[in-house]
A = this chain, B = another copy of it.
Amino acid sequence: MKGKILEVARRIFGEYGFHGTTTRMIAQEIGIDISTLYYHWGEKGDLYEAVILDIYEDLRTKLIEIEQIVHGKSLSTRMDTAIEMMTDYLFLSPEICNLILFRYFTRTRQPSNLDFRVPEFISEIAFSMGIAKDRKHLPLDIRMRMLAMMNQIYNFVAGQNFFMDLLKTTREDYVQNVKDTLKFILIPAFAQYERAGKHHDGNGDAGTMGEGDGKKEETAP
């Protein structure tokens, strides 16, 4: 039962957010009384915290699995496979994306129960992609690119209902197009690392060229 509650709480919190979810909604979805819920998980904030830890744990497991499969391949191939696997996985548990994005964007009225830190796996991903030489001390620009990449996936999964309606497409079609769009955007972007040889940082101003705007060199801090 404790597990069942966590599972349903993940889904409901993922759909409605923290304040949009009531303990009664969760209990009713399972068909139990709310006091049973409180018995197992304590107050609402504690349950939410458990949900967050749970999804990050799932995500970590998946990332490790993917890392082992794409290990050793070329960057383009690695990204292609990783995008396929990651997308398929997240569409099976879309609340993972929703909950992560809520954390990024939303403030809560709660004192500070929910502001605990969770690793964002940024360095792990960069390392797995072969972009980081060293698991620690990742330069800022690389960390931001990793965030950008993950966000791109999260967005299409978390917003699937809205976007499917907006684009007037079926689910199957949508999933395929998400993968294609991700590849269209991410692979050329990160292909710059392949072309630029191993670790030519190339400043952030990639792609524009010319213009030589006044940006100073900003070597990795």
Which A residues fall within an 8 A CB radius of B?
A: 15-20, 76-77, 79-80, 98, 101-109, 120, 140-141, 143-145, 147-149, 151-152, 155-156, 158-159, 162-163, 166-167, 169, 173, 176-189, 191-192, 194-196, 202-212, 214-215, 217-219, 221
Q: CA–CA, A105 to B152, complex, Å? A: 13
Residues of B within 8 A of A188 (CB): 188-189, 191-192, 206-207, 209-210
- Given A149-B185, A152-B152, A187-B206, 8 new contacts (CB under 8 A): A19-B19, A20-B20, A20-B107, A101-B101, A184-B189, A189-B189, A203-B221, A209-B215
Residues of B within 8 A of A80 (CB): 207-208, 211
Determine how close the nearest CB of chain B comes to the CB of A195; give it in whole angstroms. 5
Residues of B within 8 A of A140 (CB): 167, 169, 173, 177
B20 x A163 contact (CB < 8 A): no
A181 x B141 contact (CB < 8 A): yes
Residues of B within 8 A of A184 (CB): 141, 145, 189, 192, 204-207
